[in-house]
Structures are given as structure tokens and as C-alpha cells.
């Protein structure tokens, strides 16, 4: 992760005619990636290099384009693979629907209709006991849709404004986190009828703080959520240009300082964490770049520059420690660890001559000239 750079040998086929809002890589083999765009189009990519050439393009296996009978009418905000196999995936859109797709036929197996614009949805990555999809909409209620019965099973009430992000815990089957424009983040046990477990408080319950910001997670809209891979902590981002790290069992603000995390997104921001690194990292869209921070120290490691418009989403591929990002410039970029191989001394002259003159080191020290 410390050596991530834009991959010069790999392109992702450009299909979308609009910005890319959401990406998801299936967790079974880490080979297939979904993307959803502001043009309503969904594309399925094969990330594997079948050509065995060093330079290759990740091909789109298939897409749900504008001419597909079941295509979303408006912007697709979230796509997600069914966590247990690649035969199914879900998508939700500003057209007020959540669609369940059969991957093999590219037909909808089920459609859930809502009264409001849908901002985000999420299925539990670990649950074997339930098939609930949490859905956040422009209304203040969180809807839970049951894939088994095909109906909205129940509603979580407590937020006052639209729900911009939802995320199930990767550790506990029934724990759900929700983020809202009302500056609040709530943790729910969806088996309990009585309401939420914890409302996160940035001041950790200290009474001296201003009353109006009591029980708020941010001083602005909260538009992004991401659990660490072990589920023990929760990261949130808000339009107050802050990122916060919370203990997900007691809701305590750990007070890690990431500095200013620029965020003026009007909708949900899809950010991600590493998995399988000795120190965990978080990747956050930051204007047209992606900022990389160490989760527990708050140190900014690097800024990944390559997009030329706002980045809206990124996703981590843990098998190869790679990152994919989607932007309003209609491009998906692959970021891979740089592998600098040491050059043997006697070959130095040949490698120099193979260098593109633009990259050659034209600087010379005075003692060589002398």
C-alpha cells in the first residue's frame, strides 16, 4: 500500500458516458468488479489478465446499458455483489428503486420501489442468518428489505434528515451503522424494536460543549461510513471536512486527528479501508485525488493523483493489495504497488539507453564535469 501508484500497464475499458459513482469487487475470488454511473449504466468488468501480456485492458464482460429494458432511469448510486456468490448483485438509484439482478441472465430478479430518492444500500458481508438490505433514502427512515420475502420488512426511525450512507458491521450479523444529513451517526441492532443502540457523539458526552452540537458525530452532513475490516472501529466523513474514528462497541470518539479531509459532496461518498496490511490504511476521495491515511495514527501517507475531475468512490482489492477508483471524468483507474527491481551494476548502460529521453536524469554533478 505504501508503494501504490497509477498502473501504467493496465487500463479499465471505458464504457460509462457519465461520472462513476460506485464500485464493488466480489469477495469470493476478487476477480469481477461492478461499476455504476450517473448515466444509469452498470458495467461488469473482469480484472484478471487473461492475455498474459504485461500491458492489458480490463475488459467489460457485459453491461446494463441505456437500451436494456430494466436499466435504471437515473444515476446509479450504489452497486454491491451478493456477498456469498457472484450469481447475484444489487443496484440502487435516484430513480427510487433497488434492483436485484441475476448475473448470468442480466435480468432483474426483484425490484423494490421507494417513495423517495435512494442514496445508498448495503447487504451484510457476513450474515448467514438474514438477507436484509439496508436502504438509505431522502426520507429520514432507514428501510430494511428482505431478499427472502421480497418485501420491506421493517423501518428504523430516529434520524431527522436524509440517510446518506448505510453500512453493516463486518463482525456482527445484526449491527448496522447509518449516517445522515442531520449530522448524526447511529448504530442499530436490527433485532431490537426499541430504536437505536448508540448515537455517536463527537464530544464523548462532555457537558461543557455547546448544546446544539450535542449528540452529533460531525458539524455538517455525514455522508460516508466505513467499518475497519475487523469491525472493531468505524470511520465517518462529513461535510465539515473531518474524518473521525469511533470505537464501534461503545461508540467512543477515539480523537484520531486526520487533519482537513476535503469533502463537499452533496451525496454519499464511497471510501474504503485496506485489508490484510500490518497497519490498516484508509483511502478517501479528496477532490480529484485520493488521500491515504494510516487508520490509527491519522498520518497522511500520500495523495494518489491521476484523475482530472472529482473522485466519488474507491474500492480495495485485498488479494493483490490494489485500489480502483471511479471519478466524474468517466474513468476507472487502477492503483497497484510499485515493484522496483534492483538493477545489476553491469547492466546499467543498457537500462540507461532504454529510458525515454524525457525521463532521463539530465542533471550532472560538478566533479564529473571536472
Could you tell me if residue 94 is inside a domain? Answer: yes
pLDDT at 278: 80
pTM: 0.89
Mean pLDDT by runs of 10 across the 370 residues of the chain is 89 94 95 96 94 89 95 97 94 97 96 95 93 95 93 89 96 96 95 88 76 81 96 97 96 96 91 90 96 96 96 94 96 87 51 47 48
Answer yes or no: is 144 within a domain: yes
Q: What is the pLDDT of residue 209?
A: 55
Indicate the Cα dihedral angle 230, 222, 305, 364, nearest 10°: -80
Q: Would you say residue 369 lies in a domain?
A: no
Per the structure block, which three cell numbers stand in for 328?
A: 466524474
Show the cell assigned to 166. 448505510
Return the CA Rg of the chain: 22
State the Cα–Cα distance between residues 85 and 31, nearest whole angstrom: 12
For cell 469481477, name the residue.
32
Report the pLDDT value the prediction gives residue 210, as an integer from 0 to 100. 56
The CA distances from residue 221 to 92, 122, 156, 265, 291, in Å, are: 21, 19, 19, 10, 20
Give the C-alpha separation, 265 to 223, whole Å. Answer: 8
* Residue 368 within any structural domain of the chain: no
Long-range contacts of 216-219 (CB under 8 A, 24+ apart): 216/183, 216/184, 217/179, 217/183, 217/184, 217/185, 217/244, 217/246, 218/183, 218/185, 218/242, 218/244, 219/183
Q: How many residues does the chain have?
A: 370
- CATH code for the domain in which residue 51 is found: 2.130.10.10
> Which residues span the domain enclosing 60?
4-337
Is the distance from CB of 148 to CB of 131 less than 8 angstroms? yes
DSSP reduced 3-state for 95: coil
In a domain, 58, yes or no: yes
Number of domains comprising the chain: 1
Q: Which residues contact 273 (CB under 8 A, 6 or more apart)?
A: 226, 227, 228, 229, 235, 280, 281, 282, 283, 295, 316
The C-alpha torsion from 138 through 244 and 125 to 36, rounded to 10°, is 50
The reply to whether 298 falls in a domain is yes
pLDDT of residue 194: 75
Confidence at residue 345, expressed as pLDDT on a 0 to 100 scale: 54
Distance of alpha carbon 33 from its chain centroid, rounded? 12
On whether residue 356 sits in a domain, the answer given is no
The 8-class DSSP code of residue 266 comes to S
Asked whether residue 97 is domain-assigned, the answer is yes
Amino acid at each position: 500500500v505504501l508503494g501504490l501508484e497509477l498502473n501504467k500497464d493496465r487500463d479499465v475499458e471505458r464504457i460509462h458516458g457519465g461520472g462513476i459513482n460506485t464500485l464493488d469487487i466480489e469477495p469470493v475470488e476478487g476477480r469481477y468488479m461492478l461499476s455504476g454511473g450517473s448515466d444509469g449504466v452498470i458495467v461488469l468488468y473482469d480484472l484478471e489478465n487473461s492475455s498474459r501480456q504485461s500491458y492489458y485492458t480490463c475488459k467489460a464482460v457485459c453491461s446494463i446499458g441505456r437500451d436494456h429494458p430494466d436499466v435504471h432511469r437515473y444515476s446509479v448510486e450504489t452497486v454491491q455483489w451478493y456477498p456469498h456468490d457472484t450469481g447475484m448483485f444489487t443496484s440502487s438509484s435516484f430513480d427510487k428503486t433497488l434492483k436485484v439482478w441475476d448475473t448470468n441472465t442480466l435480468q432483474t430478479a426483484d425490484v423494490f420501489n421507494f417513495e423517495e430518492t435512494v442514496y445508498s444500500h448495503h447487504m451484510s458481508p457476513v450474515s448467514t442468518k438474514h438477507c436484509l438490505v439496508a436502504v438509505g433514502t431522502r426520507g429520514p427512515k432507514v428501510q430494511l428489505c428482505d431478499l427472502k420475502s421480497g418485501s420491506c420488512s421493517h423501518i428504523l426511525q430516529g434520524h431527522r434528515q436524509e440517510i446518506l450512507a448505510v453500512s453493516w458491521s463486518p463482525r456482527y450479523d445484526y449491527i448496522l451503522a447509518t449516517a445522515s444529513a442531520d449530522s448524526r451517526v447511529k448504530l442499530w441492532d436490527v433485532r431490537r424494536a426499541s430504536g437505536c443502540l448508540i448515537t455517536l457523539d463527537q464530544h464523548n458526552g462532555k457537558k461543557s460543549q455547546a448544546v446544539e452540537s450535542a449528540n452529533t458525530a460531525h458539524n455538517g452532513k455525514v455522508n460516508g461510513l466505513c467499518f475497519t475490516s475487523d469491525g472493531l472501529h468505524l470511520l465517518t466523513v462529513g461535510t465539515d471536512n473531518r474524518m473521525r474514528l469511533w470505537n464501534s462497541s461503545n461508540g467512543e470518539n477515539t480523537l484520531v486527528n486526520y487533519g482537513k479531509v476535503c469533502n463537499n459532496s452533496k451525496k454519499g461518498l464511497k471510501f474504503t479501508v485496506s485489508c490484510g496490511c500490518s497497519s490498516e490504511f484508509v483511502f478517501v476521495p479528496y477532490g480529484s485525488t485520493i488521500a491515504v491515511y494510516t487508520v490509527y495514527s491519522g498520518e497522511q501517507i500520500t495523495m494518489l493523483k491521476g484523475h482530472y475531475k472529482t473522485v466519488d468512490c474507491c474500492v480495495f482489492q485485498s488479494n493483490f493489495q490494489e485500489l480502483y477508483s471511479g471519478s466524474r471524468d468517466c474513468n476507472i483507474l487502477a492503483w497497484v504497488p510499485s515493484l522496483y527491481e534492483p538493477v545489476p551494476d553491469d547492466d546499467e548502460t543498457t537500462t540507461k539507453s532504454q529510458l525515454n529521453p524525457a525521463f532521463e536524469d539530465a542533471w550532472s554533478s560538478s566533479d564529473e564535469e571536472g
